[in-house]
């Protein structure tokens, strides 16, 4: 092989690590910031709030793409059968994590299950389960499968499906809605499964000569960016929310960039994955020194994901107890609109506080991730691969 395996893994891990850092900004904003219905709506947002939310859009698409890439990298030292079994068991673990463990121990701080929001790990679990079946197919078939889902699912944007389980494949919605309990699926499965499948196919490029791989990433990245601009300008396909002229050129640009994440439209995915592929290309030959700390986060993404929610929620609970003399709000969420916790009177801080809190969380996570990374590296336990 012309390039060592550790260098290739560093290239993937640094991109994943940067994504994890950026992701924390959106989650800190949810807990700490002033709660708004739609921070990317040009009619009601500010430029600072729009940018704060918009830059985090890249996180979920890249995370799903790199999940597929990671599965392909694992294929180099596993048989197809053992890889399929690993993906299936890991997928089931993700479903349990999202619906029970993360929901109770990190997001809600309760076990009453009045409100359950199925989020990114839920969709990731189903994507892994699907990929466990797909790995038996040739790469071209997996590529075609992923491309059909990503390119074609926007054609069904206007379709409303009565069956709740079928509807959750393409659109957010309630899986259960009773006076006592609510289960809401926020991440429709079809497009995310498609992105994961394409990531698996893309991961095969890490067996190529580096120059050929970088050329592929460059072509794909620019194709997605140019395709996004061209198709978005036409306003004919790829997103259910057309852009509109606004009172100023700046807000017209915001409207142009305001694509749909739930479900992730074709244009949303092109807008986010294009730059991500260029980033992958840029670090393929080596990681700059200033970016190397991100590798620490990128090597333990699930550990980071769970623990950073715990830290954020603990932080606001302590802050609430100090501010109000009581913290009961932060342990309850009786309606979906209150998720992840009921709002105390006057709760919510401006963006400078949000950014300061975000930096504090990221810095606090570094030694923890570094420690856990060393534990994983020094252990032969296969169970550690599930966290």
Main-chain phi, psi angles of 61, to 5 degrees: -60, -40
- What is d(CA 71, CA 192) in angstroms, rounded to the nearest whole number? 15
Of 289, 303, 315, the closest CA to residue 368 belongs to 303
Q: What mean pLDDT do residues 246-269 have?
A: 95
pLDDT score recorded for residue 180: 82
Q: What mean pLDDT do residues 15-31 have?
A: 96
Tokens coding 117: 């929001």
Paired sense of beta strands 173-177 and 115-118, if any:
unpaired
| 165, pLDDT greater than 90 | no
pLDDT score recorded for residue 96: 95
Q: Give 212-216's long-range contacts (Cβ < 8 A, gap of 24+).
A: 213/284, 214/281, 214/284, 214/285
Main-chain phi, psi angles of 185, to 5 degrees: -95, 115
Tokens coding 310: 């715990």
3-state DSSP call for residue 131?
A: helix
| Mean pLDDT over the full length of the chain | 91
pLDDT digits (tens, 9 = 90+) for 183-237: 999 999 999 999 999 999 999 999 999 999 999 999 999 999 999 999 999 999 9
| 258, pLDDT greater than 60 | yes
Q: What mean pLDDT do residues 353-379 have?
A: 94
pLDDT score recorded for residue 34: 92
pLDDT digits (tens, 9 = 90+) for 65-91: 999 999 999 888 888 899 999 999 999
Tokens coding 27: 């989650």
pLDDT digits (tens, 9 = 90+) for 100-145: 999 999 998 988 888 999 999 999 999 999 999 999 999 999 999 9
Q: For residue 158, with 0-12 CB atoms within 10 Å meaning exposed, 13-18 middle and 19 or more buried, which class applies?
A: exposed
Q: What is the pTM of this model?
A: 0.93
Of 251, 256, 272, 85, the closest CA to residue 195 belongs to 272
């Amino acid at each position: 092989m012309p390039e060592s395996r550790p260098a290739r893994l560093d290239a993937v891990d640094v991109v994943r690590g940067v994504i994890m850092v950026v992701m924390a900004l959106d989650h800190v904003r949810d807990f700490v910031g002033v709660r708004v219905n739609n921070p990317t709506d040009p009619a009601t947002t500010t430029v600072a709030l729009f940018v704060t939310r918009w830059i985090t859009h890249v996180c979920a698409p890249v995370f799903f793409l790199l999940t597929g890439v990671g599965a392909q990298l694992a294929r180099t030292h596993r048989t197809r059968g053992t890889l399929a079994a690993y993906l299936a068991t890991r997928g089931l673990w993700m479903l349990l994590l999202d619906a029970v463990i993360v929901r109770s121990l990190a997001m809600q701080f309760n076990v009453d299950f009045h409100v359950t929001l199925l989020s990114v790990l839920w969709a990731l679990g189903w994507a892994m389960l699907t990929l466990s079946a797909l790995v038996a197919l040739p790469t071209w078939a997996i590529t075609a499968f992923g491309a059909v889902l990503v390119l074609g699912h926007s054609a069904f944007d206007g379709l409303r499906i009565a069956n709740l389980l079928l509807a959750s494949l393409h659109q957010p919605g309630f899986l259960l809605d009773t006076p006592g309990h609510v289960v809401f699926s926020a991440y429709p499965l079809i497009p995310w499964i498609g992105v994961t499948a394409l990531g698996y196919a893309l991961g095969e490029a890490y067996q190529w000569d580096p120059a050929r791989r970088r050329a592929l990433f460059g072509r794909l990245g620019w194709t997605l960016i140019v395709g996004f601009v061209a198709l978005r300008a036409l306003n004919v396909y790829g997103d259910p929310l057309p852009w509109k002229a606004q009172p100023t050129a700046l807000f017209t640009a915001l409207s142009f960039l305001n694509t749909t994440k739930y479900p992730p439209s074709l244009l949303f995915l092109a807008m986010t994955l294009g730059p991500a592929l260029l980033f992958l290309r840029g670090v393929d030959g080596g990681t700059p020194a200033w970016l190397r700390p991100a590798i620490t986060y990128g090597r333990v993404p699930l550990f980071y994901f769970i623990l950073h929610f715990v830290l954020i929620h603990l932080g606001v609970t302590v802050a609430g107890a100090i501010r109000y003399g009581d913290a009961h709000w932060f342990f309850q969420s009786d309606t979906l609109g209150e998720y992840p916790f009921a709002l105390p009177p006057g709760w919510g801080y401006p963006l400078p506080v949000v950014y300061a809190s975000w930096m504090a969380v990221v810095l606090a996570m570094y030694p923890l991730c570094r420690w856990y990374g060393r534990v994983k590296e020094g252990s032969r336990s296969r169970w550690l691969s599930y966290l």
